[in-house]
Structure 1
Amino acid sequence: MRGHDAGQHKGDGQNAAIVALAVLTALLMFGRLGTPPLTTANEGLYAQVAREMLETGQWIVPHINSVVYFEKPPLLYWLVALSMRLFGENATAARLPSALAGAAIVSTVFWLAGLMFGRAARIPAALIMATSLGFLLMARQVMFDSLLTAAVTVSLAGFYAAWRLDRRRFSYLGYLGLAAATMAKGFVAPALVVLIFLCWSASARDLTRLRPLTPLGPILLYLLLVAPWHIAISLQRPDFVWFYFYNEHIGRFLGTRQPKDWRTGAFYTPFLGLLLLTTPWAFLLPAALYNALSHRRCGPPARGNSDFLICWLLVPLAFFALSGNRQYAYAMPAAPAVGLLVGVLWQAANTGSPSPRLSAWVRAPIAAFLLLVAAAWITCGLKAGVPGSSGERATLLFVGLSAFIVSLSYGLSLPPSRGLSPLFRCTAAGAATAWLLAMLIFRSIPGIQTEEPLARALIACNPPEGAVVAVEGRLEDSSSFLFYLPRRLRPVFVVEGRTGGDLQYGSTDPSVRRLFLSAKQFAELCARREVFYLTNNPPRLPLPPGMQKIDGTRKKILWHRTALRPPTPRPILHQPLGSPGALLKQRNSAALPALCPRKSPYSGLL
């Protein structure tokens, strides 16, 4: 009876820990998801593509500002559009698919850790993923990387389960995840998955490890899910074939893509990106790799697990390090491997007596990490409160680091215990507390770029019929401004921003060339029409005569060509609840001059 009671008590403890993990993951992924507003450049760009799908019903060919946009497959756009149809056109709805993908990554790591290393490894591995601060930041943005990583993780887990359990049906799960990854970010996904399995097979000279990738039924399922969209868009737009398959895939990898709209990072950029994505757990990665390499001597099962995780970790990093386009976020598909490797390290440290060498591998990075945290805390404390975005960022980091240090110090002071060690629990608690405090205290993240306040200022002016909106420079540099504009003010004109950006290829279409203006053409437009104009701060181009400032931020200024006339009240066009158009509220004519004065208070300063 005693053994039965002990087992039941242990099971109840496991269940309680799983529930706590689920609640914590939900808080970290979905808490205040709509704060801050959508940002420029990527979030506003991708959310606007999804919104135009909703508005036009064109689900095959992506558009932004009525311009074709071939760069990425449509899965993220489809999911964001569905979310906005259900919950309104707002930041929360736009970010929800990425946050759900982040939660799916944590869940898949939980399941895969149990399959590979037993029940005791599930919670540490999943908790590490859920409290990795860079991973959380990426999962809460309208970006392709969270969706790609979730799909690749599911694919790798499915193929590994098919090999480990010798059950073919898991290959269907692998190819289902691979299809989602391909429709999320293109054929980089199958390249990564196949390379990981090839390296894993080569590490043991065992071709049977490739068997989960070979069944015909799952391959046909993959083609059935991936081929229809590629065929449909190629039939509608034959130029898609060259741009997408060569320019966007091969050209981007080789660094010859036209136009080159990115900054090529250094060779080490993906490795540094992984460290940032998995903070604060990355400091234990050397010890985790040492532990994994030690397990290779323990027999085929342990060696197979270790080799699989090492290949999963290194292949994406090497792939993007050799690419001509290196970005920090591209390391995200390798992040789940860090969660699994470090989770197994904690399991090994807590369930047995670690060797002196392994203990040294753990203690040395912890000491270095504590010194780094202390130095960062002191530096941020000295800069906190300084006016400007740097002072705001320092205050945010100081608050987060303070919470982290308090929690970590408490963990170090506790005696060792069975199960999860106090240090592990307090490290996770410190990271989670730092993130939650940042979400609760700060209404927006200092230093980010969003034009949502300027869009609200424009809408408050109640532009008359016939008024047009223009932006200075490339449209993606003002993408959140575009998202928060109502449909009647779109498409916007782009002034001296056709070349060198995301819309250069689409701008060659004769049907949209009129939207891309030279400075001279814009001056002629201002002579004929009432114009609202968003520029950099300060403007990069000379302003046409008569421009007056309405509002501004650190990076952008909103102008109007002439003094605004007090408009008569007009009925509001129907907009979905929560949409940017719903920001346009009925105001009486007496209240409008306060928002949009006849003479700008800044006009004397210009």
Structure 2
Amino acid sequence: MRPTRLRSSAPWFLLLALIVASLLAGLGMREPSPPDEPRFVLAARQMVETGQWLLPHRGSELYAEKPPTFMWIQAATYKVLGNWNIAFLLPSLLSALLTLWLTWDLSRRLWNRRVARYAVLGLFVCIQFGLMAKRAQIDMVLVGMTTLSLWALLRHLLLGPNWKLLALGAFAAGVGTVTKGVGFLPLLALLPWAAWRWRHPRVTGAGRGWGWWLILPLFIAGTCVWLAPLGIALLHNPDPHLQSYAQELLFKQTGTRYANAWHHKQPAWYYLQVIATLWLPGSLLLPWLVPAWWRRLRRADPRYIVLLGWALLVLLFFSASPGKREVYILPMLPALAVAAAPLLAGLLRRTGVRWALLAYVLLLAVATLAIGYGALHGDGWAQRNAAKRAIDPWVLPQVGAWLLGFGIAALALVATLRLRRAGLAAVLATVLLWAMYGLGLMPALDPYSSAAAVMDKARQRIGDGELGMVAWREQNLLQTHPQAADFGFKRPWSEQWELAGQWVAAAPERRWLFVLKQAMTPCADPARVIDIGSANRNEWQLLPGTALDTACVAASHGEVAETPDETNDD
């Protein structure tokens, strides 16, 4: 590379280094927090400790809501690093970095390097992307796999033929499907491409060939990463629990969950709201992007037809299901960033676009300044929310200082870069946001969001006693060392109490129960029930084994006044 080219690329490399540093910020500085992180880490930890990797467990029960692929990755990462606080977050971080690289490379191949840089920056600034990169949920790993599949497929469809990449795309879609059931979505890109080819049959590119027959067998091969060992286990093990696990995961948690969802029900337009909020500030550009996209679609540019056609199919697919969560449409975002990238340089010369981005940074700064000031000075709103989550008052000033620091820095960006460089201000504000989130906010709130604080109190109270758990949450069990006894997670409270009573009866002087307050049995001596604390908006109690009338529990079959909130769904 020539010295002049190195000098011209230096600002880009500096910006890229800041992006990577902001995503890395806070790695290893917190523990898993709800809703999803503790259950995945709990299953991964049990894989490592028991050596049983085929089927994930949530305590003593099989965990059938998700395939084990993501938990395998977390467990394997721990085996390499030996540190759970790093291992549980690293798969999401690496998937985010992979997604950024794939976005850059696909944009470079479809257009040029300058466009590729805009694609990376456009993807990074969207709030949902950074948030998922810093969370240990399946969705970021899924996005990494779907983007890999789409990258390979589009290189074959638009720049090919390249049958090896077609095979890679089909295989990656299969692996994505056994990571989370919708991993097959990249294959939908074949539909808009086929429609374009039908209208333009004489255009060269990926056309006829024996390689198309690779798609189905290689997709199936990708799913066999997990389905093959599961199938072997089903053939050789008649255990009804294993059969029930397979039936629930393969049918209820896939087809039934999509067609007749039993929770997270939202209206058909729900994802428009998600795009408008969680894809900020990128969504602010849609009034300019949509007409520009439409003009290019009318010119029958295959790059836009496939990218935008695929994104629309994904949106329609998820909108058709009654069950919706904001993370479901995240796989669309890299493709839309690639489709927007060629237009961004021109859009950023428009005064309206610059004002929109600068106003976003300014509002973000003002909002964090207001919240930070309230937390620092302990106003009513901050104190009320801290009390709901049992956050110690001394934590509020620490949180407030970080928020104020971010707000002041964001205001400095607005004052320094002003309207002319509003795009750069949005990128740098996002860098500061994720640095502040990772280094300041999450570590400060971690003892309360992870339930570590309340479980430390329980551990100190019981000393060298044994702990059992009734009506527990995953984060509570995860925070026990050694892992506490449990009596089922989805099992009704009454059945949990029956099993807990038998467990306590074997050694009442040594055994204690950690219990959700509303699940406490009437067979306990109320005078000896200990209010141990609050975590994740739940009140928890500690019950000495000697304060439980186990004969009463057996006679009443553990009956308690159960509420609809006795378990938490995925």
Aligned pair 1:289/2:271, yes or no? no
* Contact kept in structure 2, 1:273 and 1:327, CA below 8 Å: no
Matches within 5 A, 1:446-465: 449-461=449-461, 463-464=463-464
CA offset at residue 403 of structure 1? 3.1
Give how far 1:446 is off.
8.1
Q: Does 1:320 align with 2:318?
A: yes
Q: Secondary structure at the match of 1:142?
A: coil
| Equivalence for 1:197 | 190
Where 1:61 maps in the other structure, the secondary structure is coil
Q: What is the DSSP-based 3-state SS (H/G/I as helix, E as strand, rest coil) of the residue aligned with 1:560?
A: strand
SS of the equivalent of 1:189 reads coil
Structure 2 residue identity aligned to 1:560: L
The range that moved more, 147-156 or 384-393, is: 384-393
* Cα distance between partner residues in 2 of 1:373 and 1:43: 27
Q: Is the 8 A contact 1:411 1:427 kept in 2?
A: no
Contact 1:380 1:394 in 2 (8 A): yes
2: CA distance between counterparts of 1:145 and 1:461? Answer: 38
Residue-by-residue CA offset, 1:482-508 (whole Å, 9 max, x unaligned)? 122224x4332358x525xxxxxxxxx
Q: Is the deviation greater in 153-162 or in 541-550?
A: 541-550
Aligned-pair distance for 1:526?
5.2
Which residue number in structure 2 is paired with residue 307 of structure 1? 305
Which residue is equivalent to 1:404? 410
Q: Retained in 1: the 8 A contact 2:504–2:511?
A: yes
Distance 1:551 1:120 in 2: 54
Letter in 2 for 1:106: L
d(CA) in 2 for partners of 1:316 and 1:173? 21
Q: Please, which of 99, 102, 105 is the counterpart of residue 108 of structure 1?
A: 102
Shift of 1:24: 2.3
Cα deviation digits, residues 356-384 of structure 1 (max 9, x gap): xxx37635744774685477457636744
Match of 1:163 in 2: 157
1:254 corresponds to 2:259: yes
Q: Quick one: which of 193, 216, 220 aligns to 2:213?
A: 216
| Equivalent residue letter for 1:457 | K
1:181-580 alignment to 2 at 5 Å? 181-186=176-181, 188-190=182-184, 192-202=185-195, 205-206=198-199, 215-217=212-214, 219-227=216-224, 229-234=226-231, 235=234, 236=237, 237-256=242-261, 260=262, 262-297=263-298, 299-300=299-300, 303-349=301-347, 359=350, 362=353, 365-366=356-357, 369=360, 373=364, 376=367, 380=371, 383-384=374-375, 385-386=378-379, 387-388=382-383, 390=385, 399-414=405-420, 422-442=421-441, 443-445=443-445, 449-461=449-461, 463-464=463-464, 467-472=466-471, 475=472, 478-487=473-482, 489-494=483-488, 498=491, 517-519=495-497, 522=500, 529=508, 530-536=510-516, 539-541=518-520, 544-545=524-525, 546-553=528-535, 555-562=537-544
Query: Does the aligned pair in 1 maintain the 2:23–2:435 contact within 8 Å?
Result: no
In the TM superposition, residue 158 of structure 1 has moved relative to its aligned partner by: 0.6
What is the CA distance between 1:312 and its match in structure 2?
Answer: 3.5
Counterpart residue type for residue 458 of structure 2: L
Q: Distance in 1 between matches of 2:325 and 2:219?
A: 28
The 1:404/1:294 distance shift into structure 2, 3 A limit, reads farther
Superposed CA offset, 1:20-64 (max 9, x none) = 344223312222123432112310001111111112222222212
Alpha-carbon separation, structure 2, partners of 1:70 and 1:140:
25
Contact persistence 1:109–1:125 (CA under 8 A): yes
Contact 1:35 1:444 in 2 (8 A): no
Asked if the contact 2:175–2:225 (Cα under 8 Å) also holds between the matched residues in 1, the reply is no
How many Å apart are 1:245 and its aligned residue? 2.6
Give the direction of change, closer, same or farther, for the CA distance of 1:550–1:239 in structure 2 (3 Å limit): closer
Deviation at 1:522, TM superposition (A): 4.7
Query: Secondary structure at 2:268's aligned position in 1?
Result: coil
CA distance in 1, matches of 2:61, 2:8: 53
Residue 75 of structure 1, CA deviation? 1.6
Q: Structure 1 length as normaliser, TM-score?
A: 0.75
Structure 1 partner of 2:561:
none
* Equivalent position amino acid for 1:233 in 2: L
**SS of structure 2 residue aligned to 1:238:** helix
Deviation at 1:152, TM superposition (A): 0.5
Paired residues of 2:515 and 2:543 also in contact (CA < 8 A): no
- How many Å separate the matches in 2 of 1:33 and 1:330? 25
Q: Does 1:16 align with 2:10?
A: yes
Distance 2:209 2:410 in 1: 43
Change in Cα spacing, 1:209 to 1:72, as seen in structure 2 (3 Å) is farther
Deviates more, 1:77-86 or 1:128-137: 128-137
What displacement does 1:551 show? 4.4
Residue 241 of structure 1, CA deviation: 4.5
Deviations 1:81-102 (A, max 9, x none): 0111122352221111111111
Provide, for residues 485-542 of structure 1, a one-character-per-residue CA deviation record: whole Å limited to 9, x for no partner: 224x4332358x525xxxxxxxxxxxxxxx9735566567656634444444x54545
Change (3 A) 1:266 1:562: same
1:258-282 per-position Cα deviation (integer Å, ceiling 9, x unaligned): xx3x331232333333344432222
Unpaired runs of 5+ in structure 1?
Answer: 1-6, 415-421, 500-514, 565-606
Deviation at 1:119, TM superposition (A): 1.0
TM-score, normalization by structure 2: 0.79
Which amino acid in structure 2 is aligned with residue 412 of structure 1?
R
Q: Which amino acid aligns with 1:406?
A: A
Alignment match, 2:134 = 140
Q: How far did residue 197 of structure 1 move? A: 2.8
Secondary structure of the corresponding residue to residue 444 of structure 1: helix
Secondary structure in 2 matching 1:470 = strand
Is 1:33 the counterpart of 2:30? The answer is: no
CA contact (8 A) 1:404 1:430 kept: yes
Q: 1:430 to 1:229 in 2, by over 3 A?
A: closer
Give 1:65 shift: 0.7
